[in-house]
Structure 1
Amino acid sequence: MKKYLPRYLDKELEFALNSIGAVLIVGPKWCGKTTTAKQHSKSIIQLQDPRYSDSYIKIANTEPLTLLEGETPRLIDEWQMAPKLWDAVRYSVDEKDGKGLYILTGSTVVDDSKIMHSGTGRIHRLTMRPMSLYESGDSNGKISLLELFENPNLNINLIKSNLTIKDIIYLACRGGWPESLSLETEKEQLFIAKSYIKNICEIDTSRIDNVKRDPGKVNALLRSYARNISTLAKNTTIFNDINKQYEITEPTFYSYLNVLKRLFVIEDVLPWSPNIRSSQTIKKTPKKEFIDPSIAVAALNLNPKILLYDLNTFGFIFETLCIRDLKVYSSLKEGKVQYYNDKNGLEVDCVLTLNNGKYALIEFKLGSNEEEKAAKNLLRLDKLIKEKIALGDVNIPEPSFLAIITAGSMAYTREDGIKVIPIGCLS
């Protein structure tokens, strides 16, 4: 039996089970939802089990409460295969009036029209992402992101990462897929992301709602998205790009895009706009991102050797890696990742906000040659925020800290107070 590697979601799930009747874990396929849910459940029903799947779905459509019988917490894996179970769980939670009764897992967002009630107050939703570098054992985790929020003066000087730029490129290509960690060779590990893309294109985008979709067009969309990763490219750019290869209508394009979001493949980053500038000057286009950097690598048919000699391209992929990890590390505080970009030329890669209102300004840069530009942007935005606070124009606190996350080897605090943190040190 494989050794279970603890996930940040474990603590979130444990807390939720002690607080509410049922918990729904959503996220992309192969990210470890079922494995983690099993650690917290006492009975299980797997709707995708080929031996019983047809029978389960028939029962779910006629007597759904029957499938909920069992020791609790009861895990209902891939529940979206029988949407009526949602309302059954909600009803059961009301009837039993208990906590931690059910855990549901699913790899797609279900059409709301197929369920009667939202589940508010009965079913809590958690999002699981592929593994962060710390969860996979690649980051040494010596610098805690949440501790920095509590203690911005934390001494990080001389803390070293064990990862080289070559290591980080490989880890971005491999991705955070738990299954890859059990494979012996690099070739096998890199194959997981390629297989993931193939399944998405050929099977999952059509199976999600039983609407046949062209695998070639899905693949073209993913490639175009990957070419524009970590940028503010508009959807029209992606649409026009695909039309160079395939004839596709605008409604069809947006239906494909929506399906990839429902499958948790695409996870765009929204702009941060606390009214520190006129709303007309803030760019509002979502930043194009995938839930894991390996998706971009596989979609573009890249590999570690190619990216080692194309650091410009890898810089955009590195940003996706950092965003994934920041979301995982801040998940206990419901961290929200956004970006800042205005028409006056001021931009910052990331504004990370916690549920207590604290936030940090963060830039992602591969090496020291970009450090000064990143620091200048952070300090400009920090100054602008403080000026607006002093004038009473905004009702927000000052940033908890400013940081540059790098692919470098050593952490330190600059004279201007900005933290420089290797991604291989974060947890």
Structure 2
Amino acid sequence: MVLVNGARQAGKSTLTRLTAARRRDPVLRLLDDAATLRAAMDDPTGFVEHDSMMLIDEIQLAPELLRAIKVAVDLDPTPGRFLLTGSSRILAMRTLPDALPGRMEVIELWPFSQGEISGGPDRFVDAAFTHGPGLSCTSALRKRDYLDRAVVGGFPEAVKRTPRRRTAFFNAYLSTLVERDVLELASIERHGEILKLLGLLAGRTGGLLVPAALATASGIPRTTLVRYLELLTSVFLIKTIPAWTSGLTGRTVGTGKLAFVDTGIACHLTGQDAARLAEPDGAAGAMLENFVVMELARQLTWSEQQGRLFHYRTKDKVEVDAVIETPRGDVIGIEVKAGATVRTEDLSGLRNLANLLGDRFVAGYVLYTGQQTLPFGDRIRALPMDALWQLSP
């Protein structure tokens, strides 16, 4: 069986229905329908009996179906019989039966990438490892254009709405997420604490995720706060970018960094539109860093080059916003700058990483809001930010 898992409103139902429509006589089960859900809960075994592909939408609403599906798959292991969708991490559910190992492939569906929105190839990761410092591009976009994109985010419904209607969508989205999806994973009585925490997290986008500091700032006990962070991760709202270390130095910081899966949600929570972000005390730097990091995370789900995403920071506060390492140990570093110029000090983290890794360091890139490609010595280049979705190998 295949599970398409991801954030609510990311397009899972649309994608899986298009996929099922290509099969002969597919069976469609929508668990959002009360009568269908009741049938699933009353007779799980009978519910999953079928002769063709069965699509079950929102499987987390009736996790008891997974045990019945397990039995059906054990009796007939033909691939492609079950296509499932879920809006929370199924493995995190309290009521999950032990039915998944070895029987399910999980595909995470993210909100739209910028390449999907603009029609670009979305192959920066592959291009970076293929061509190294040989990458080059020009851009017509400026800082305000990137901020506009960050504010919109990637949810299909948000992309097609006007700013006023987009605000209504985000309000409803967050309300549903807390009142429904989070409650599917855990019993939470004080919903207001979750919403308070979300606002606090949005103001710390791109910062180190230190539970003790967050507990102090929010007034939420540390153990409760850690539980809340796990829940927000499970409903695909936030993501922790782990710290990278080569094992060659003891001066790296092991704390993960906070990122919102969608910058539109983060901007909404901070109450900043593109104009406000661009002001001197606005959050342009943090939001554009989040924007770039999550575009990289999306690309790593389909790129030919396998890799893992990290951030790099030493105890001396030398840092690189994003580090991608391949299974063979090759590394690229990406620094994000909201400005249209690149200064020498902007390169310190990449140069530190290059010196540390030697030949394992493929290239370092400063993604900035300028319009030209600029060389900065051995294996380091500044590229316009839209190189993320415009370049291909």
Aligned pair count reads 381
Distance between the aligned counterparts of 1:363 and 1:274, measured in 2? 18
Corresponding residue to 1:402 among 338, 342, 364: 364
**Aligned residue runs from structure 1 range 24-423, under 5 A:** 24-41=3-20, 42=23, 43=26, 44-60=28-44, 63=45, 66-72=47-53, 74-110=54-90, 111=92, 114-117=95-98, 119-137=100-118, 140-141=120-121, 144-152=124-132, 154-156=134-136, 159-183=137-161, 185-209=162-186, 211-243=187-219, 248-278=220-250, 281-310=251-280, 313-333=283-303, 334-355=306-327, 357-386=329-358, 398-423=360-385
Indicate if the aligned counterparts of 2:153 and 2:159 stay in contact, CA closer than 8 A.
Answer: no
Q: Give the TM-score of the pair, scaled to structure 2.
A: 0.88
Q: Cα distance 1:202–1:120, how it changes in 2: closer, same or farther (>3 A)?
A: closer
CA distance in 2, matches of 1:358, 1:124: 27
How far did 1:232 drift? 1.3
String of CA shifts for 1:318-338, please: whole Å, max 9, x gaps.
111111110111212454211
TM-score of the superposed pair, with normalisation by structure 1: 0.81
Distance apart, 1:382 and its partner CA: 0.8
The verdict on how the C-alpha distance between 1:205 and 1:418 changes in structure 2, with shifts beyond 3 A counting, is same
| 1:352 Cα deviation after fit | 1.2
CA distance in 2, matches of 1:355, 1:38: 35
**Residue 167 of structure 1, CA deviation:** 1.9
CA offsets 1:93-119 (integer angstroms, 9 cap, x no match):
332222222222111123466344352
Pairwise CA distance, 1:412: 4.3
Task: Give, in whole Å, the separation in 1 of the partners of 2:285 and 2:12.
Answer: 29
CA separation of 1:355 and 1:58: change in aligned 2, threshold 3 A: farther
Query: What is the identity, as a one-letter code, of the residue corresponding to 2:158?
Result: S
| Distance change in 2, residues 1:358/1:93 (3 Å) | farther
In structure 2, relative to structure 1, the CA distance for the partners of 1:92 and 1:353 (3 Å cut) is: farther
Kindly provide the CA deviation profile for residues 14-67 of structure 1, in whole angstroms up to 9, marking residues without a partner as x: xxxxxxxx222221111112222222224221111234222223222xx2x532
Q: Compared with structure 1, are the counterparts of its residues 403 and 131 closer, same or farther at alpha carbon in structure 2 (3 Å cutoff)? A: same
Conserved 8 A contact 2:93-2:185: no
Structure 1: how far apart are the matches of 2:111 and 2:174? Answer: 14
**Alpha-carbon offset, residue 358 of structure 1:** 3.6
1:399 positional shift:
2.3
Q: Distance in 2 between matches of 1:160 and 1:190?
A: 33
Residue 71 of structure 1 deviates from its aligned partner by 2.1
Percent sequence identity is 22
Q: Deviations over 1:270-300 (max 9, x none)?
A: 111220202xx32111111111112221112
Once residues 341 and 166 of structure 1 are traced to their aligned partners in structure 2, the CA distance between those partners, rounded to angstroms, is 28
State whether residues 346 and 377 of structure 1, in contact with CA within 8 Å, keep that contact through their aligned partners in structure 2. Answer: yes
Checking the alignment, whether the CA contact within 8 Å between 1:174 and 1:190 is kept in structure 2 is no
8 Å Cα contact 1:361-1:402 kept in structure 2: yes
Q: Give CA-to-partner distance per residue, 1:170-208, whole Å, 9 cap, x none.
A: 21111110112333x232234433332233344433344
For residues 319 and 40 of structure 2, the distance between their equivalents in structure 1, rounded to whole angstroms, comes to 52
Please report how far the alpha carbon of residue 218 of structure 1 lies from its aligned counterpart in structure 2 after TM superposition.
Answer: 1.2
Please list every run of 5 or more consecutive structure 1 residues that lacks an aligned counterpart in the other structure.
1-21, 387-396
Q: Give the partner amino acid of 1:39.
A: L
